[in-house]
Amino acid sequence: MSGLWRDVVDAIGVVIPVNDEEALLPRCLAALREALDELAVQHRHPPAVYVVLVLDACTDGSAAIAAASGFEVLTTSTRNVGMARAAGVAAVFARVAEAGARNRALTDAAHIWIANTDADSAVPRTWLTTQLALAEDGADLMVGTVRPDFADLTAEQTAVWMSTHVLGHAGGHVHGANLGVRGASYLAAGGFASLAEHEDVLLVESLRANPETREVDTDECWVLTSGRLVGRSPGGYAHHLMSTLPPVADPVDPVADHGTDSGADPAAESTIEESITRV
């Protein structure tokens, strides 16, 4: 792909749905701020960035954490991640339009990039700069990889995960925690469906059905996500881990007892973490 004027990104929207993530949301936001700092460092005139946190049926302390973040916060009560993501994207489009009206320079959706992640995840410092580079080189869709937090897994589970994944390889598996899409392509595909799960997969399937969609699958900006085996939705990443990793006697949500011993071997974890350190 070679970037053209049509691929220039004038605005980036970051959308993060939140459902009772008071334990992990601070880590998510801290990582995002690092990515925003890196974007400012690498680009003298970076695109405008609009971050939208969508609190969906939260009953814990997530709202207070989000309110203190300085980012835009929306509140929904549907407990539906598809609707939450769609509301966040709509807010991004609205903010870009408002800015365009003030500046008398409207931004076409083709020049807006939507970067999606989850509140239980931590993006790398290069998350936004990598997506911007891919977008301006012509990508309409970025399907990124994720890796579970090994602190949430046992040593045996970690070893099995490592044995079934090739680090540095992107297989095109869809994760809402690491998904980027051009605004015009998002709209043409119908946006996020109002689904309680797999809204990300359905969106990508719609995009892939269009032969003109320029897709890039990458492990370059992999995202750290929760390794919990009890998730927020029945068919989410937690279910995937539960179905592919050795079982534990009594799986629990590690967030509910954050910081306790997961049963993993510290020495083994150290070796594994060294092998996947971001460069």
Q: Which residues pair with 143 in a beta bridge?
A: 179, 217
Residue 255 pLDDT: 54
Does residue 259 or residue 216 have the better pLDDT? Answer: 216
Q: Are 81 and 17 in contact (CB under 8 A)?
A: yes
Residue 236 pLDDT: 79
**What is the reported pTM?**
0.87
Does residue 264 or residue 14 have the better pLDDT? Answer: 14
Minimum mean pLDDT among 5-9, 48-52, 187-191: which range? 5-9
pLDDT 10s digits, 130-151: 999 999 999 999 999 999 999 9
Residue 226 pLDDT: 93
Residue 244 pLDDT: 84
Residue 146 pLDDT: 96
Minimum mean pLDDT among 135-144, 184-193, 255-264: which range? 255-264
Decide: helix, strand or coil at residue 105. Answer: coil
Q: Are 55 and 18 in contact (CB under 8 A)?
A: yes
Residue 234 pLDDT: 72
What share of the chain in percent tops pLDDT 70?
87
pLDDT 10s digits, 202-235: 999 999 999 999 999 999 999 999 988 877 777 6
The rounded distance, in Å, linking the Cα atoms of 188 and 154 is 43
DSSP line for 47-67: PEEEEEEEEES--STHHHHHH
Q: Which amino acid is at 129?
A: T
pLDDT 10s digits, 107-125: 999 999 999 999 999 999 9
Decide if pLDDT at 277 tops 80: no
The rounded distance, in Å, linking the Cα atoms of 117 and 13 is 11
Residue 276 pLDDT: 37
Burial class, 127, CB count within 10 angstroms (exposed 0-12 / middle 13-18 / buried 19+) = buried
Decide if pLDDT at 257 tops 90: no
Q: 77 — phi, psi (to 5°)?
A: -130, 25
Label residue 246 by pLDDT band (50, 70, 90): confident
